Amino acid sequence: MSTQEETSLNFIEQIIEEDLKNGKHNKVVTRFPPEPNGYLHIGHSKAICINFSMAQKYGGKTNLRFDDTNPVKEDTSYVNAIQKDIEWLGFEWDAEPLYASDYFGKLYNYAAFLIKKGLAYVDDSTQEEIRAMRGVPTKPGTESPYRNRSVEENLQLFEQMKNGDFEEGEKVLRAKVDMSSPNMHMRDPVIYRILKAHHHRTGDEWCIYPMYDFAHGVSDSIEGITHSLCSLEFEHHRPFYEWLNKQLEIYEPQQIEFARLNLNYTIMSKRKLLQLVEEGVVNGWDDPRMPTLSGMRRLGYTPEAIRNFIDRVGVAKRENIIDIALLEFCVREHLNKITPRVMGVLDPVKLVITNYPDDQVEQMTAINNPEDPEGGSRTLPFSKDLYIERADFMEDPPKKYFRLGPGRMVRLKNAYIIECNDFVKDEATGEITEIHCTYIPNSRSGEDISGLKVKGTIHWVSIPHAIEVETRMYDRLFNDENPDGHKDEEGNSISFMEFLNPDSLHVQKAYVEPSLASAIAGDRVQFMRKGYFCVDPDSTTDHLIFNKTVGLRDSWAKKQKK
């Protein structure tokens, strides 16, 4: 490998290549271990891409393992949604999905093994008492009065916990590690608790469940994970991860942390995203304003754009906040290549071509996508009565306004040059209700012999042929860059709900060209000069709904040039 290739490797790739080179491993095995208690969001996409791509690059495999250790919050619907999102992103896991619940019997035995080694004990203390015992990082914690129970008593009590002899919160099993450690995760963490709840896979077989930190590391070991890749928030959990597998005398995977994905104007906490859903702020987990992958899919984002975004963000060890405009740039960049250009008038005003025959309809040729040589073309009906955008006409236009105004000429995209001769105004409101123009017959696009030069080109739809649709114009859900990072004068956190954008959704009627009559959910288009849109799943054959994915304006690229 050349020096240039070596320096281009990220730090995880450098570790993996060194492990393969020195024979520590002969095959790379990674895993993506979501908890099935919510939908995946854009932050998870980084972990997905890293775990799956690392295994792919080195000819290994990736397990999908659901860490389903909390039946109170978990549901099969989340399991199904997570699988759908991973597949949509373009990744395949090895064999069938795995579950921490597959190992509940083994995990119980491993916990009993710790008890037999004198490294775990049953504690009768309450959650509040245990929290107080742990203290603060700068001072040693206080040992539990139950810490020195005999092995025999602990084994008996633990079995009674399993048999349902105690109520929730009455007892827990704690690992016996180090109450003086500056790392709070090492101060005798709870590894089992009583939960008398129905589990989505094991039903009522168990009434005790392992804590995440216990189940996670042992599950990695059981599966032979070579590189346990996770975000930096788990860095302080690693000492216990390593201690646990060492004390259990089992295979020890290597945990490696990378900087998680943080986006401005975005909330990444599943708990807080659930709050938005439960309080009706958004219309479900797949609401296009949500940072969930299902929400982004519904909005019209492509998996290619998200993977490209993750590549651009890169793999690093230092936390930082990424501008959401970069994500929008990646979406816009990909959609520009793949979406057909169509006519859609979002804020219509009627335009009448006074010298065009009343009953005449011409078919105008339009290229579907100038960025795609194989995209082909289509025909558009053209008639006397058209809709144009209200913003494309001004009664008294300024000097540098090149669209339509009294006495001004513009070209109708793919059609004729027109000149405005008159307009009709509502006397009560002052609103323009109709624009009257004449067309130049020998100025048809592709056949223009008029010799006229015009600076402006506007889009249109033929009124007799137009399809009325609903457009949902989405904006950011929050109007603050850091909605979860504010405190009041007394240092108390201000709720992220205080920074909701009241104008995050605007629904309006629009008119589109007839070629879209057969559009189905998921179809993506660019409405010329307006932005990229995607057909919403709520659509029917009689009522098409278009979600605005992203505008044409590239704010991120402009920021980079400053």
Q: Would residue 375 count as lying in a domain?
A: no
Distances (CA, A) of 3 to 7, 50, 363: 6, 23, 60
Q: Would residue 210 count as lying in a domain?
A: yes
Q: What's 364's domain CATH number?
A: 2.40.240.10
Residues 71 and 179 in one domain: yes
Token duo for residue 280 = 């009706």
Q: Is 223 exposed, middle or buried (0-12, 13-18, 19+ CB in 10 A)?
A: buried
Residues 330 and 354 in one domain: no
Contacts of 137 (CB under 8 A, 6+ apart): 182, 183, 184
Residues 277 and 397 in one domain: no
Q: Would residue 108 count as lying in a domain?
A: yes
Residues 400 and 542 in one domain: no
Residues 422 and 440 in one domain: yes
Residues with a catalytic annotation lie at: 35, 260, 270
Domain, as residue range, for 417: 348-370+381-459
Q: What is the pLDDT of residues 540-551, one digit of tens each?
A: 999 999 999 999
Token duo for residue 522 = 């998921």
Q: Is 242 exposed, middle or buried (0-12, 13-18, 19+ CB in 10 A)?
A: middle
Q: Would residue 100 count as lying in a domain?
A: yes
Residues 307 and 356 in one domain: no
Contacts of 455 (CB under 8 A, 6+ apart): 402
Q: What's 63's domain CATH number?
A: 3.40.50.620
Residues 254 and 312 in one domain: no
Residues 425 and 481 in one domain: no
Q: In the prediction, which pLDDT does 223 show?
A: 98
The DSSP letter of residue 350 is: E
Which is nearest to 512 in space by CA: 483, 488, 546?
546
The last residue of a domain, from among 217, 235, 260: 260
Residues 169 and 20 in one domain: yes
The last residue of a domain, from among 396, 425, 459: 459
The DSSP letter of residue 493 is: B
Q: How many domains does the chain have?
A: 3
Q: What angle do CA 108, 110, 114 make, to 5 degrees?
A: 115
Length of the chain: 562
Q: Is 13 exposed, middle or buried (0-12, 13-18, 19+ CB in 10 A)?
A: middle
Q: In the prediction, which pLDDT does 562 show?
A: 55
Residues 297 and 237 in one domain: no
Residues 190 and 314 in one domain: no
Q: Would residue 19 count as lying in a domain?
A: yes
Phi, psi of 283 (to 5 degrees): -95, 60
Distances (CA, A) of 301 to 137, 372, 448, 530: 44, 19, 38, 17
Segments of the chain with pLDDT less than 70:
1-7, 555-562
Residues 145 and 246 in one domain: yes
The last residue of a domain, from among 260, 289, 324: 260
Alpha carbon 269 to its chain centroid, in Å, reads 12
The rounded distance, in Å, linking the Cα atoms of 214 and 234 is 13
Q: In the prediction, which pLDDT does 3 show?
A: 43
Q: Is 197 exposed, middle or buried (0-12, 13-18, 19+ CB in 10 A)?
A: middle
Q: In the prediction, which pLDDT does 560 show?
A: 54
Q: Would residue 502 count as lying in a domain?
A: yes
E-assigned strands of 131-265? 172-175, 190-194, 208-210, 227-231, 254-258, 262-263
The DSSP letter of residue 514 is: G
The rounded distance, in Å, linking the Cα atoms of 302 and 190 is 42
Task: Find out whether 352 and 435 touch, Cβ atoms under 8 Å.
Answer: yes
Contacts of 220 (CB under 8 A, 6+ apart): 31, 228, 253, 255
Task: Find out whether 81 and 40 touch, Cβ atoms under 8 Å.
Answer: yes
Q: Report strand pairing: 524-527 vs 505-512.
A: unpaired
Q: Would residue 385 count as lying in a domain?
A: yes
Q: Would residue 522 count as lying in a domain?
A: yes
